[in-house]
Amino acid sequence: MSPPPRQSRYPAARGEHSSFAYDNDLAWADTVVRFVSNGLERGQRVWYSADSTEPDAVIDALRRGHIDVDAARRDARLSVTGTERSYLRHVPFDPDWVISMFRAACAEALADGHTGLRVLGEMSWSAREEEHVDRVLESELRLDREVYADLPLTGLCLFDRRLIPGPTADLLTRAHTTCADAPRPPAGGPSTLPAALAAVPMRDRSGIRLSGSGDVDTRPVLRSALAALARMPGPTVHLDLSAVTFLDPGAVAVLVEVSNSLTGKGRSLLLHKPPYSLRKVAELFPEECAALEVAA
């Protein structure tokens, strides 16, 4: 009996901001071909922003996937750009610039008669720009609510696990409403472990949802996520802790620090469903934790 057709688990819903992590070229090509083909069939303009992959290699993969690349490019339905023209290489990385750029690009696609915009971005450059990781995380968390929630824009961030360190890849890939992973390599091959603490955006309000455990090992992730949260717009930013299993006193101290910083700017941090560990720390240190505001 022949094996069933290979199915790529990429998310392709309209208006969705997703990630795909892979560690082999076959998984990359399969996902890219399906994602691009889906966009062209829906009448979207498709934009592939390459980094580690040469644009010609992207074009070749699309042609092998039976996509009429020449016709799509001629009709301005498909664009494949390299590092020198990549929006990802705008340094210093500025989430406000990225957000405005995406909104403008989507408006241009609609004005040109397309049904929307579909973007694929290779994220391997983030491994070379470690000092910008916090701002990249901020961008990933803000884009969902500030761009994807109200525009016909579909985005897929591509993470090559062979090029991006495990902690960075885990932090950034999970900062999406939908994440997909290619099958892991055999034992002994390169792999990453699930992030012990992860942040995803909230679409219904300005805020993020944390999951996992906040302790000394995940303190950098917590700081990065909260730094991104503090830069989100609005008088109040929300932090959903319902999926957090534990916060040690150091993690609670970071929350207090961010809350005080926002208060000093006339803004506020509102916590939702904090774990028992946070409430216990607040009981032991009531004065120090007085700045923390919990939603009713």
pLDDT digits (tens, 9 = 90+) for 220-275: 889 989 998 998 989 999 999 999 999 999 999 999 999 999 999 999 999 999 99
Q: Are 123 and 51 contacting, i.e. CB atoms less than 8 angstroms apart?
A: yes
What's the whole-number mean pLDDT along residues 133-160? 90
Report the C-alpha dihedral over residues 133, 219, 20, 101, rounded to 10 degrees.
Answer: -30
What is the number of residues in the chain? 296
Topology adopted by domain 197-294: Transcription Regulator spoIIAA (3.30.750)
Sequence spans of domains, the chain:
17-181, 197-294
Class of domain 17-181: alpha beta
pTM over 0.85: no
| The residue to which tokens 């955006």 are assigned | 201
What's the whole-number mean pLDDT along residues 155-171? 87
Other C-beta atoms within 10 Å of 139: how many?
25
Q: Are 18 and 176 contacting, i.e. CB atoms less than 8 angstroms apart?
A: yes
Q: How far apart are CA 253 and CA 282, in angstroms?
A: 10
For residue 267, the Cα-to-chain-centroid distance in whole angstroms is 25
What's the whole-number mean pLDDT along residues 127-149? 82
Phi first, then psi: what are they for 122, rounded to 5°? Answer: -75, 130
Split at pLDDT 50, 70, 90, the class of 12 is very low
Pairing verdict, β 197-201 and 207-214: antiparallel
In this predicted model, what pLDDT tens digit does every residue of 47-62 receive, in sequence order?
999 999 999 999 999 9
Q: How far apart are CA 30 and CA 119, in angstroms?
A: 16
Q: How many helices (H) and strands (E) does the chain have?
A: 9, 11
Split at pLDDT 50, 70, 90, the class of 170 is confident
In this predicted model, what pLDDT tens digit does every residue of 176-215 receive, in sequence order?
878 877 665 554 444 344 457 899 998 889 999 999 999 9
- 58 sits in which H/E element: helix 55-64
Runs of H (alpha helix) within the chain: 25-41, 55-64, 69-74, 95-111, 133-143, 166-173, 219-230, 249-263, 276-284
Q: What is the pLDDT of residue 183?
A: 60
Say yes or no: do domains 17-181 and 197-294 share a fold: no
